[in-house]
A and B are shown apart, each in its own frame.
Chain A
Amino acid sequence: MSAVAVVAATADGPRVRRGWKLLVGGGLLGLLALFMLVGPLVSGYDPNATDLDARFSGPSAEHWFGTDDLGRDLFTRMAVGGRMTMLIAVGTVALASAIAVPLGLLTGYLGGWVDLAVMRVVDLFFAIPTLLVAIGIVGIFGPSFTTTMLALGLAFWPFYARLVRSAVVGVRDLAYTDAARVIGAGRWRIIRKEIVPALLPLLIVQTTVLLGFAVLDEAGLGFLGLGVQPPDASWGSLLAQSRGFVLSHPWIGVIAGVPILLVVLGINIMADVLRDRLDPQGAST
């Protein structure tokens, strides 16, 4: 996982390149969103309905993405699975943000023993790979949609919290926060009115980046069989399912994997665009 630094955009960053990024990123995400929302309606198939006479049929006019080992329409399952994956990703980021942002603000602003205690917990999480934390949580509670979301959310918050805390430390002693303090503003008011607005670009960009990681890690957990359970589909579980046929029917794996690549690419491009747009120094370019 990487953090997004609040740095100045290159002064000569051409607007035209940003426009392309927006077009490509937004277009990718828009298309995928359209696919997920209306795909099942367009295909007309039940995502879980088996058709044993149509097993492993390749992409055709009848089944645009082909069918799986039980004859289920892969186009429909990918669309429905995409919804599941995105729901998990959004839920994950929401949970991580709900924990990380308040903790980061508090520890960064208050410092002292609060900072010390919380950051040591964060250090503890840093010592364990993110996916391993998630696997541990799924191992305790059992694999499901909710658990996947919970596991990833709990695995992601420490990185986010440290980032927020660092950003708060960077702005808490700036002149305008000192000025607010001098005119008698309380600490909560300073946090709400002075610090949070300064952090908003960072929060928005980092949330977007995290979304991409959540999609990837959902796929990782699903691939390990620890995500959404069959017959329900998510992109991760579909990728895992394709693994059994990777030598005999490799196209299933390709179809299951490409949307993950595209959505993460789209999210990352959009995060880049957002960073450029929200960076106050870059905005002048």
Chain B
Amino acid sequence: MPKRHHFQVLVIGLVTAVALAGCGGGSSESPAAGEGGDGATGGQSAGPLRMLGVEPTQGFDPSTAFADASRVPMAMMYETLTERDGEGEIVGALAESWEVSDDGTVYTFTLRDGIAFSDGSPITAADVKFSFDRMKTGEALQAQLATLTSVEAVDDTTVTFTLSGPMSTFPALVGRPANAAILSEAAVGADPDYFTMPTVTSGPWTLSEYTPKSQMTFTANEHYFKPPGIATIQVSFNNDPTANAAALESGSADVASVAYSDAERLKSEGTLQIVQSDQLAPLFWGWDRTKAPFDSKDVRQAVAWAVDREGKQEACWFGTGGVTYGNILRPWDPAYEEINTYRADDREDALAEAADLLDAAGWVEPEGGGTRVADGVDGVEDGTPLAFEVPYEGNWPAAECHVQILQQNLQEVGIEVTPSKYDPAAYWGDVSAGTFTMYHGGAGAADSMDLYANWFATGGSLTALTTHLDDPEINAKVTEAQQVDEETSIQIIKELEEWQAEELPMLVVGYQWPQVGMTQRVQNYRPGVDADSYTLVEATLSE
């Protein structure tokens, strides 16, 4: 499942997560930040830092686990070649620098000197090759690495990647936290059950203890090139954001994601630190476009007009996250250009637009009002009411809120929605199987390229799960955007933004912001700049 939902919950982990960004490094264009381990100079807090997080439901294999519940701890354990710094720029992590050939098809990465796994064995180019060969066949990054034709270890610290065509986003791709992990070939090869409890890892912390259904403990990796500020992190599993807030207030936890209602209260009280991050984490309505009523673009657009985006965001997310009237990308993305396809001057106008579209689609209002019925809709018997269930993940309170507001919104234009609380364990499997007429979802992406490749191009993990698109034209555009120079790539993505706003393969209405609560004991924590890049490496604990 995508990084759905429980953002509040996942965030927590995300917080702990990465640390990657603090790892210094640099590219050929931008010199390493903090090279030489400046984070270690101030000394290390013994900890433990007590966190509340979710259990890694998909295990610790970076090539297959793409749910945030697993990516978060993996990002703490595994390091990547590159990463995003606090401003969102791609900088080196395990790689000190990289170069690209003139034709843009060969990337050469040079590893830092003296880097080692947690057992002290050196991280070599052979490990990088092993990791990417493995990644190419794994579910998590298979689609994005489709253009990677070969990986060669030139010497111990130099590795070359050959692509079938230019791909300007490749340095960002090899920095995908958790999934683009560099693994120890020797450790993975020696133990068939390595991923059950990976202890030889490349990231800032190592997993020292994992008790299913209870907790996991991370210990600072003494061989990591930039020792983290906190030696021990203890993550207790908990799915209840309200309980998280209470735990923070009582001082029994240091870091936890918190519910939106609690975040507002805690912010105003000022006793805890509340960190919100504007990330590319859209909330959307998915639909089955293979059959009525959503095979009709008019109906999809009618729903897009009828939903009250700001009201929903205010009610379910306490005004955080922001809304969109056409874009998927966030305003901070270079490819963002505001689209207001479904913005009306007032609600009455929006409802009138929706009503006209429904009329045009053959869903007409019966005499006396009420639920619209089919009148000449292809494949639908006349008189069939425009009514359907909208399921949502049963463990996601904000989703329940969204669906109830949707019900009220669509009722205003004669569409009858029945909210259906769904078993979370079966939810995304059934979404993938196309079981639902319309459903609620949330997911995240690292950047615009990652989003369009993963959500709308054939082979993308979210494409397979939700949009089920297999459009050669879109595939070609996405591939082209990956291969051309940055300016052209941005232009293509803008075109894709316009396309999705018009066609609505899914309806993105707003965004979820992770909200992390911290006690005053936690210091120097910097929020991440995207869904994956959180910095806990430089955080310390006051005694």
The reply to whether A247 and B262 contact each other, CB–CB distance below 8 Å, is yes
The reply to whether A49 and B408 contact each other, CB–CB distance below 8 Å, is yes
The reply to whether B421 and A48 contact each other, CB–CB distance below 8 Å, is no
Query: Which residue of the partner chain, among B245, B311, B394, B423, contacts A247 with CB atoms under 8 Å?
Result: B245
Task: Give per-residue flags for A92-126: 1 if the beta carbon is below 8 A from chain B beta carbons, else 0.
Answer: 00000000000000000000000000000000000
Complex CA gap A222/B401 in Å reads: 17
Residues of chain B within 8 A (CB-CB) of A71 are 315
The reply to whether B404 and A70 contact each other, CB–CB distance below 8 Å, is yes
Residues of chain B within 8 A (CB-CB) of A48 are 404, 407-408
Contact A52 B421, CB 8 Å, known A70-B401, A248-B262, A248-B265: no
The reply to whether A247 and B242 contact each other, CB–CB distance below 8 Å, is yes
Complex CA gap A142/B246 in Å reads: 31
Task: Give per-residue flags for B304-330: 1 if the beta carbon is below 8 A from chain A beta carbons, else 0.
Answer: 000010010011000000000000000
Stretch at the interface among A6-14, A32-40, A74-82, A223-231: A223-231
Residues of chain B within 8 A (CB-CB) of A143 are 421
The reply to whether A69 and B315 contact each other, CB–CB distance below 8 Å, is yes
Query: Which residue of the partner chain, among A70, A225, A249, contacts B405 with CB atoms under 8 Å?
Result: A70
- Determine which residue in A52, A71, A143, A249 has the highest number of CB atoms from chain B within 10 A of its CB, and name it: A52
Shortest Cβ gap from B34 to chain A (Å): 39
**Closest A residue by C-beta to B259:** A244
The reply to whether A244 and B397 contact each other, CB–CB distance below 8 Å, is yes
The reply to whether the CB of A172 lies closer than 8 angstroms to some CB of chain B is: no
The reply to whether the CB of B419 lies closer than 8 angstroms to some CB of chain A is: yes
The reply to whether the CB of A21 lies closer than 8 angstroms to some CB of chain B is: no
Shortest Cβ gap from B396 to chain A (Å): 11
**Closest A residue by C-beta to B392:** A230
Shortest Cβ gap from B160 to chain A (Å): 53
Task: Give per-residue flags for A243-269: 1 if the beta carbon is below 8 A from chain B beta carbons, else 0.
Answer: 111111100000000000000000000
The reply to whether the CB of A166 lies closer than 8 angstroms to some CB of chain B is: no
The reply to whether the CB of A50 lies closer than 8 angstroms to some CB of chain B is: yes
The reply to whether A247 and B404 contact each other, CB–CB distance below 8 Å, is no
The reply to whether the CB of B290 lies closer than 8 angstroms to some CB of chain A is: no
Complex CA gap A70/B315 in Å reads: 6
The reply to whether A248 and B261 contact each other, CB–CB distance below 8 Å, is yes
Query: Which residue of the partner chain, among A52, A229, A230, A245, contacts B261 with CB atoms under 8 Å?
Result: A245
The reply to whether B242 and A231 contact each other, CB–CB distance below 8 Å, is no
Task: Give per-residue flags for B257-269: 1 if the beta carbon is below 8 A from chain A beta carbons, else 0.
Answer: 0010110110000
Complex CA gap A244/B265 in Å reads: 13
The reply to whether B265 and A231 contact each other, CB–CB distance below 8 Å, is no
Shortest Cβ gap from A168 to chain B (Å): 43
The reply to whether A230 and B315 contact each other, CB–CB distance below 8 Å, is no
Query: Which residue of the partner chain, among A49, A52, A229, A246, contacts B419 with CB atoms under 8 Å?
Result: A229
Complex CA gap A99/B526 in Å reads: 62
Complex CA gap A70/B262 in Å reads: 16
Q: Categorize the interface residue count of chain A.
A: 20 to 34
The reply to whether the CB of B497 lies closer than 8 angstroms to some CB of chain A is: no
The reply to whether the CB of A55 lies closer than 8 angstroms to some CB of chain B is: yes
The reply to whether A231 and B404 contact each other, CB–CB distance below 8 Å, is yes
Residues of chain B within 8 A (CB-CB) of A229 are 419-421
Residues of chain B within 8 A (CB-CB) of A225 are 394, 421
Residues of chain A within 8 A (CB-CB) of B262 are 247-248
Contact A247 B315, CB 8 Å, known A230-B404, A230-B419: no
Residues of chain B within 8 A (CB-CB) of A243 are 242
Residues of chain A within 8 A (CB-CB) of B420 are 229
The reply to whether B405 and A244 contact each other, CB–CB distance below 8 Å, is no
- Determine which residue in B245, B400, B420 has the highest number of CB atoms from chain A within 10 A of its CB, and name it: B400
Residues of chain A within 8 A (CB-CB) of B315 are 50, 52, 55, 69-71
Complex CA gap A244/B419 in Å reads: 19
**Closest B residue by C-beta to A70:** B315
The reply to whether B311 and A52 contact each other, CB–CB distance below 8 Å, is yes
Shortest Cβ gap from A174 to chain B (Å): 53
Which residues in window 232-246 of A have CB below 8 A to B? 243-246
**Closest B residue by C-beta to A142:** B423
Shortest Cβ gap from A79 to chain B (Å): 19
**Closest B residue by C-beta to A55:** B315
The reply to whether B265 and A50 contact each other, CB–CB distance below 8 Å, is no
The reply to whether A50 and B404 contact each other, CB–CB distance below 8 Å, is yes
Residues of chain A within 8 A (CB-CB) of B245 are 247
Residues of chain A within 8 A (CB-CB) of B314 are 52, 55
Residues of chain B within 8 A (CB-CB) of A70 are 315, 401, 404-405
Shortest Cβ gap from B172 to chain A (Å): 37
**Closest B residue by C-beta to A229:** B421
Complex CA gap A246/B241 in Å reads: 12
The reply to whether B408 and A230 contact each other, CB–CB distance below 8 Å, is no
Residues of chain B within 8 A (CB-CB) of A52 are 308, 311, 314-315, 405
- Determine which residue in B262, B264, B420 has the highest number of CB atoms from chain A within 10 A of its CB, and name it: B262
Residues of chain B within 8 A (CB-CB) of A50 are 315, 404-405, 408
Residues of chain B within 8 A (CB-CB) of A247 are 242, 245-246, 249, 261-262, 265
The reply to whether B242 and A244 contact each other, CB–CB distance below 8 Å, is yes
Complex CA gap A142/B242 in Å reads: 25
Shortest Cβ gap from B498 to chain A (Å): 30
Which residues in window 194-240 of B have CB below 8 A to A? none
Which residues in window 206-227 of A have CB below 8 A to B? 225
**Closest A residue by C-beta to B400:** A230
Shortest Cβ gap from A151 to chain B (Å): 16
Complex CA gap A69/B402 in Å reads: 12
**Closest B residue by C-beta to A56:** B261
Complex CA gap A52/B259 in Å reads: 19
Task: Give per-residue flags for B372-416: 1 if the beta carbon is below 8 A from chain A beta carbons, else 0.
Answer: 000000000000000000000010010011001101100000000
Complex CA gap A241/B246 in Å reads: 17
Top 6 closest A-B pairs, CB basis? A52-B311, A248-B265, A248-B261, A50-B408, A231-B404, A229-B421
Chosen A-B contacts, 13 in total, with CB atoms closer than 8 Å, are: A48-B404, A48-B408, A50-B404, A52-B308, A52-B315, A52-B405, A69-B401, A142-B423, A231-B419, A244-B397, A245-B261, A247-B249, A248-B264
B residues engaging A (CB < 8 A)? 242, 245-246, 249, 259, 261-262, 264-265, 308, 311, 314-315, 394, 397, 400-401, 404-405, 407-408, 419-421, 423
